[in-house]
């Protein structure tokens, strides 16, 4: 167990009274913050129920050693100050893709819809360089939030973290002296109603990320069409529609960006960010298809491999939002969509049925373990898969098979985004 000594936040829930002074200090020091503040106070008893224990957790950016925001940002909007260890976000480089808000397990980066960029805690880096504590720790009236040089191991910090993800966070939480609620006379609270508790909204939903739903469905279809070699050199109309569909999918993919004019920056972090790799493979795939059709014929394997790289990149970029999933694969992943379409159009029933069986199993597992989809949508999705599989067996016309298939894929992809819930830290401390 390697022990290192660094400046970290040390939080003692036994001392915190939930006064919010740390959050106010952060705003006074760093200026106006949008409705979603950089430092938040989470409660184990948000409904204020008199018979349940009440503890608080003050949390902001922990400036992790393996910071997921820095590693996954496609625009290289993050950097680290090697003197202080602070992970700094540069607003002028941010494209507003919100990918870092998916990646961070502590919910530290905050998307400012008014500015179209992400903002976050700066570690009060300007104070650290002058030998001062961050404002939040400096002004905590009870001493619950400290900032000090502390000898710790990553295992020790991870064990005390409210979110069980080892990213080398600079945050350690003291153990509670008492976890049970107080002894109270129930008669005193007979007339008291608990406050309603509303969970925070999901960061990823099909409604909020509809451009990505459309992009992923179009791209999956285009890759399958290329694999099938359905468009030959004589089919100019097919080529034009293919390229228009590719251009529209690229346009849709930029609609969810807060800073669309900086979209070119999404290619800057190919060595680490799956989002950058997705954009690169999309360009390579469309470029290979265009070259094959209009400049010089290419071996079919080249655009085919570029297409597979694109689908894998799309699926991998969502892996950061699946860390709580019991099974980190979904029936609506783009590789499964494209391969299903390929074998359906090829009229290869045995392989298609095998893929359908796998996808049905995945769908039912996710519905059982994470039942946050409506039974109606799940039933429609199961029905579309079965109708397509049975229709292929009965020799139904391909047009009707494709219609049932496409409707089912749209439903499944919508369900996929709705299940990609980024856990709120408030929910985590309820569970722990």
CATH topology for the 3-174 domain: Alpha-Beta Plaits (3.30.70)
Is 134 in a helix, a strand, or coil? coil
pLDDT category of residue 430 using cuts at 50, 70 and 90: very low
Contact assessment for residue 102 and residue 94, using Cβ atoms and an 8 Å cutoff: no
Q: What is the DSSP string of 212-248?
A: HHHHHHHHHHHHHHHHHT-S-TT-HHHHHHHHHHHHH
For 115, which DSSP code?
T
Closest CA to 78 of 23, 115, 122: 122
CA distance 90 to 82: 16
Tell me the domain boundaries of the chain.
3-174, 210-419
Report residue 277's pLDDT band, with 50, 70 and 90 as the boundaries: very high
Q: Give the total residue count for the chain.
A: 432
Helices (H), 85-153: 99-103, 125-128, 135-138
What is the pLDDT averaged over residues 346-367?
92
pLDDT at position 181: 59
What is the distance between the alpha carbons of residues 139 and 19, in angstroms, rounded to a whole number? Answer: 11
Higher pLDDT, 378 or 191: 378
Task: Report pTM.
Answer: 0.86
Question: What digits encode the pLDDT tens for the residues 212-249?
Answer: 999 999 999 999 999 998 887 778 899 999 999 999 99
Indicate the pLDDT class of residue 194, thresholds 50, 70 and 90.
Answer: low
**pLDDT score of 431 more than 60:** no
CATH architecture of the domain covering 210-419: Up-down Bundle (1.20)
Give the mean model confidence (pLDDT) for residues 9-29: 92
**In whole angstroms, how far apart are CA 353 and each of 336, 343, 357, 366?**
12, 9, 6, 20
Structure confidence at residue 151 as a pLDDT band (50, 70, 90): confident
Residue range 262-284: mean pLDDT, rounded: 95
Both structure tokens of 57? 């957790």
**pLDDT computed for residue 3 by the predictor:** 63
Q: What is the mean pLDDT of residues 127-140?
A: 93
Provide DSSP, 400-431. Answer: HHHHHHHHHHHHHHHHHHHH-PPPPHHHHHHH
pLDDT of residue 425: 54
**pLDDT tens for each residue of 60-94:** 999 998 999 999 999 999 999 988 889 999 999 99
Task: Check pLDDT > 80 for residue 374.
Answer: no
Question: At 309, phi and psi to the nearest 5?
Answer: -60, -40
User: What sign for the dihedral angle of Cα 428, 321, 145, 28?
Assistant: negative
The pLDDT assigned to 341 comes to 96
- Mean pLDDT, the chain, rounded, equals 87
Q: For residues 43 and 426, is the Cβ–Cβ distance under 8 A?
A: yes
């Amino acid at each position: 167990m390697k022990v290192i000594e660094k400046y970290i936040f040390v939080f003692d829930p036994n001392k915190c009274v939930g006064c919010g002074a740390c959050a106010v200090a952060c705003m006074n020091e760093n200026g106006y913050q949008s409705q979603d503040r950089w430092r938040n106070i989470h409660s184990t008893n948000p409904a204020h129920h008199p018979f349940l224990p009440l503890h608080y957790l003050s949390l902001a950016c922990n400036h992790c050693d393996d910071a997921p925001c820095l590693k996954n940002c496609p625009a290289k909007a993050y950097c680290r100050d090697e003197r202080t260890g602070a992970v700094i976000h540069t607003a002028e480089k941010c494209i507003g893709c919100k990918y870092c808000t998916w990646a961070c397990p502590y919910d530290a980066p905050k998307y400012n819809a008014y500015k179209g960029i992400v903002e976050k805690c700066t570690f009060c880096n300007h104070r650290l360089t002058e030998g001062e504590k961050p404002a939040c720790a400096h002004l905590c009236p009870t001493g619950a939030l400290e900032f000090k040089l502390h000898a710790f191991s990553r295992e020790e910090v991870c064990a005390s973290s409210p979110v069980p993800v080892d990213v080398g966070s600079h945050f350690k939480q003291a153990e509670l002296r008492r976890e049970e609620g107080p002894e109270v006379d129930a008669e005193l609270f007979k007339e008291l109603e608990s406050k309603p508790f509303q969970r925070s909204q999901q960061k990823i939903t099909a409604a909020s990320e509809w451009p990505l739903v459309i992009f992923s469905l179009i791209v999956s279809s285009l890759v399958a069409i290329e694999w099938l070699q359905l468009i030959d050199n004589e089919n100019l109309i097919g080529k034009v529609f293919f390229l228009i569909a590719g251009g529209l999918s690229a346009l849709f993919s930029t609609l969810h960006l807060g800073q669309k004019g900086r979209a070119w920056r999404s290619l800057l972090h190919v060595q680490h960010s799956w989002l950058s790799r997705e954009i690169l493979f999309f360009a390579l795939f469309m470029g290979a298809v265009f070259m094959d059709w209009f400049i010089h014929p290419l071996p079919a394997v080249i655009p085919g491999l570029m297409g597979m790289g694109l689908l894998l990149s799309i699926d991998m970029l969502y892996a950061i939002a699946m860390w709580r999933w019991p099974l980190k694969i979904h029936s609506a992943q783009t590789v499964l969509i494209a391969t299903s379409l390929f074998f359906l159009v090829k009229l290869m029933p045995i392989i298609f049925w095998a893929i359908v069986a796998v996808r049905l199993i995945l769908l039912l597992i996710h519905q059982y373990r994470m039942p946050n989809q409506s039974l109606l949508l799940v039933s429609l999705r199961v029905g579309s898969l079965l109708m397509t599989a049975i229709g292929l067996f009965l020799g139904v016309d391909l047009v009707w098979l494709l219609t049932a298939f496409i409707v089912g894929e749209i439903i499944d992809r919508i369900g996929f985004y709705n299940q990609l819930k980024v856990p709120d830290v408030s929910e985590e401390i309820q569970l722990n």
